[in-house]
Amino acid sequence: MNTPEQARLADVLGQHRDTLLAEWLRLHLPVALRRGLAMEGEIREQFSAFLNIFLDTLPEANTFDWSHPEWEPVRDFLAEMSAHRARQGYTPIETATFVFSLKEPLYARLREAFSHSPAEFAEVSWKVSLLLDGFGLYTTEVFQKSRDAIIARQQEELLELSTPVVQLWEGVLALPLIGTLDSARTQVVMESLLQKIVDTGAGLAVIDITGVPTVDTLVAQHLLKTVAAARLMGADCIISGIRPQIAQTIVHLGVDLTNVTTKSTLADAFVIALQRLGATITMPKAAA
């Protein structure tokens, strides 16, 4: 059940709902629009929706603790808004300021309502300040989680884009690798290659490592795992791009590639693939 001060607070703020919104917009709408990340109508709607949810929840809540179940509607709104702002390109500070900026118009209304009771004004305003601080910090937490999720998804998309599997010939696939080959990328490489083998029914795949700067034990193991997975799907692999430095490194590391065909260039590997298919390429004769 609401405390007397909480009931009085809900009554005061509820009576001045329109005035609160007007003052809040007047003070902070220009700040929210400064970077042009959202249209004015969208931002006005956010201000109005948050204030309405906050004031509608206030009479039903029996605590000023923002984490309690009574405040779930407010938290849900802020979570959705924070995630949306993360996608729009706002900063955590800009998102939290949306909540903190409500303090100024709220204090103005409370100062008028509790003008004859300074002690009550101090008590109520302090509790409201803590409540809004909690909501502001909550937006920062949700914003960061949303931003981390966006970054993780973008990294996955970049990995997929950086490991294209192309069909060189009927039954021959090519997987050009550029950059470092770590465990996460190996998983994407393997999934992309295996899926392409299933889609095309290819029996040969050329893995070109010309663009891989260094090959260590871990990279070699990743390559062997990919070759083994492809073989389980019925496709043999040829590794191309074995430069002299890489060849020496593989020998020093003691990595066994005796069961894997290797070539120095993609062109050489393609010729081997065509030979295994029984295909040949002939140059056209020059015109007489």
DSSP-based three-state secondary structure for 233: coil
* Residue ranges of domains in the chain: 4-158, 166-277
Residue that has been written with the tokens 């118009």 in this structure: 105
pLDDT in the model for residue 29:
87
In the 8-state DSSP scheme, what is residue 283? P
Instruction: Tell me the pLDDT tens digit for each residue of 148-184.
Output: 888 887 776 666 556 688 888 889 999 888 877 777 7
The whole-chain average pLDDT of the chain stands at 86
CATH class of 4-158: mainly alpha
Same fold, 4-158 and 166-277: no
Alpha carbons 184 and 187: distance in angstroms, whole number = 5
pLDDT in the model for residue 96:
92
pLDDT in the model for residue 51:
93
Instruction: Tell me the pLDDT tens digit for each residue of 78-133.
Output: 999 999 998 888 899 999 999 999 999 999 989 988 888 888 889 889 999 999 99
Instruction: Tell me the pLDDT tens digit for each residue of 218-269.
Output: 888 888 888 899 999 999 999 999 888 888 888 888 877 778 888 989 999 9
Tell me the C-alpha to C-alpha distance, in Å, between residue 242 and each of 31, 111, 167, 220, 259: 57, 77, 21, 12, 15
CA-wise closest residue to 263 among 247, 239, 237: 239
Tell me the C-alpha to C-alpha distance, in Å, between residue 51 and each of 108, 130, 161, 190, 242: 15, 17, 43, 50, 64
Alpha carbons 237 and 106: distance in angstroms, whole number = 69
- The domain 166-277 having CATH identifier 3.30.750.24: the answer here is yes
pLDDT in the model for residue 132:
94
